[in-house]
Copies of this chain bind each other. A is one copy, B any other.
Amino acid sequence: MTSTPDALNAELAQQTELFNRLRIDNSDPAALEESRRRLGEIKRELAALKPGGKDAKKKERLLLKTPKGTRDYGPGEMFCRDYVERIVKECFVLYGGAQLDTPVFERKDILAGKYGEDAKLIFDLEDQGGEQLALRYDHTVPLARYLAMGGVTNTQSKLWQVGKVYRRDNPVMSKGRMREFSQADFDISGQWDTMIPDAELLSLLCTILTRLEVGEFTVKVNHRKILDGIFEVCGVPPEKIRPISSAVDKLDKLPWSDVRKEMIGEKGLDAASADKIGEYVKHKGGRPLLDQLLADATLTANAKAKQGLDEIGTLFTFLDAYKITDKILFDLSLARGLDYYTGLIYEAIVEASAPPGLTATEKPDPAPAVPKKKSRKSGGADEDEEIDESQVGVGSIAAGGRYDDLVGMFTAAASSDGKKGAGLPCIGVSIGLDRIFALLWPKWVERGMRSKEVFAYVLAAGDGLLPERMALVQELRAQGIAADFLAKNKPKLNAQFAAGERDEVPYAVILGGEELKAGLVTVKEQRWEFVDGKKAKVESTDKGTQMPRAELVQWLKATETFRDWSGGRLIRQ
């Protein structure tokens, strides 16, 4: 990011030209927005480098930026994000979910002891006298806190929450790895029969990813009890099970040789145990893998492993009923980092999930090219470590698992006698909306998406006609037609057309003084098409349709465009 003034000036010239071109032909608002953003960045970088500015003076200058690891989303981007959120919410409702909302911060003791090694990434609020607070790290722990507070009546629920969560990790912005990011969670709580809620959640996840058109995806599944059984069978002492599990969790980013080194070196496991683990965790597959493991007498002699394998077997029969078997990959190397999982775990990946050199569903062995600095290893501080973004993948786009003990941890800790409180089995999934946005957004830009939904632009051909324009937009809006006009007393006709075109408004309604007296208005349809990656207005010889003003609303609502509009079909096919 630290470029020389020369390089910056060269880019400034280039970007200014691009920006002006985009502004003039006015066909691609998304690219224009990107260009604007970059232009601003270059200018700020140049200003910061300006010679003659004394250090003392520099410090006084306000740095105009968002905090590290966060960003603004402008109109075009929010149009895309809103589309993603809408589909996710629709699916949550289809699956019988009800919405929950919890505060963005929690009391610190609520978050304590839930995140293992990653607890260092929690954002704390300043102690301003009163409670010790921290920003939420995920939606799962607040949900468990809510369920624990609710007592018996919340024992059976399907709850969802969409909102931002916070982690002081090293960000990789272009891949949607942020310090502030949006997660959409769906959780099922209650005493249900084995693996039924688990199958519901996997089905929900597949439905969402299919409807979002994220491309080919795979949902890797594994079971904490199988993993723990494997670790026991391979001779891992009890106190090392979670640390060794954390090491296995890195297999999607590191080759086995590195993970093995971590197990033996950092975590003090003997080499023989590590090698035995290595034999197990290289397996992935479907039902045949399950049969193979069930035939492994050493493994099935372990009660935990046996229970886990049986549950995976039950799950497989349900996946057939849900018709999603082909999307699921049983993968023994999947471990998930969070401490609180107790049963089935899963994560969804696409091709872009993997860093270059690794493929998303293949075992990363032999040693591939990996980024020199790993964000997972960095501490919570603002080290401003440089990450080579080209060497990082998007990572999993959704993940989750069963956490049967988390609610019980809360009720126990809150009980007066210190006894075990009432537990509540839960399973959930978190969908990483920023990572999905990072996958979809380039396609939107390519297709040249709109960023506004204005349907009718009201223009005056006569002498301003301001009150008349105001009254008409007001009437259209009251009828559910998004309308706008140019906020000038006496604007030129061209300026009004240009403003309407900037937002790609499909209908121009033109008011003329004489026409209005006769009770008439003129409507002109305007169309844009997307040719060779560029948006262009379709030229038309249409002089517009004159009609009684009283019929305008009805006429507009009868157009095919309006019916598409109100049905939410905003995606260019």
Q: Which residues of A contact B (CB under 8 A)?
A: 23, 32-33, 36-37, 39-40, 43-44, 47, 50, 53, 57, 61-68, 70-75, 78-79, 81-82, 93-107, 109-110, 123-131, 133, 135, 145-146, 148-151, 153-154, 157-159, 164, 168, 180, 188, 190, 192-193, 196-197, 199-200, 203, 207, 317-318, 320-323, 380-382, 384, 410-411, 413-416, 418, 451-454, 466-468, 470-471, 474, 477-478, 480-484, 487-489, 503
Contact = CB atoms under 8 A, between A and B. Distances in A.
A170 B406 CA distance: 32
Contacts of A105: 67, 70, 180
A104 to B, nearest CB: 6
Contacts of A146: 72, 74
A467 B62 contact: no
Contacts of A148: 64
A63 B196 contact: no
Given A67-B131, A70-B105, A130-B381, 13 more contacts: A23-B153, A36-B151, A62-B110, A62-B413, A72-B101, A73-B101, A78-B99, A104-B164, A123-B128, A125-B126, A196-B488, A197-B487, A323-B474
Contacts of A99: 75, 78-79, 82
Contact of A39 (B124, B151, B482): B151
A193 to B, nearest CB: 5
Contacts of A384: 130
A19 to B, nearest CB: 8
Contacts of A168: 128
Contact of A199 (B188, B410, B470): B470
Contact of A104 (B36, B104, B483): B104
A277 B153 CA distance: 58
B164 A414 contact: no
Given A67-B133, A68-B131, A128-B168, A40 B149 contact: yes
A268 to B, nearest CB: 30
B317 A482 contact: no
Nearest to A471: B321
Given A65-B107, A453-B93, A36 B150 contact: yes
A128 B133 contact: no
Nearest to A46: B416
A322 B466 CA distance: 11
A96 B39 contact: no
Given A67-B133, A109-B62, A477 B207 contact: yes
A284 B36 CA distance: 46
B451 A47 contact: no
Contacts of A483: 94, 96
23 contacts: A33-B153, A40-B151, A44-B414, A50-B416, A61-B413, A63-B109, A64-B110, A66-B103, A67-B131, A72-B146, A78-B99, A79-B98, A94-B477, A96-B503, A105-B180, A126-B127, A130-B381, A193-B489, A197-B487, A207-B477, A321-B470, A321-B471, A323-B471
Contact of A64 (B39, B101, B203, B414): B414
B72 A102 contact: yes
Nearest to A478: B207
B72 A103 contact: yes
Contacts of A133: 67
A98 B73 CA distance: 11
By Cβ-Cβ distance, the 3 closest A-B pairs, closest first, are A130-B382, A75-B98, A96-B484
A452 B159 CA distance: 10
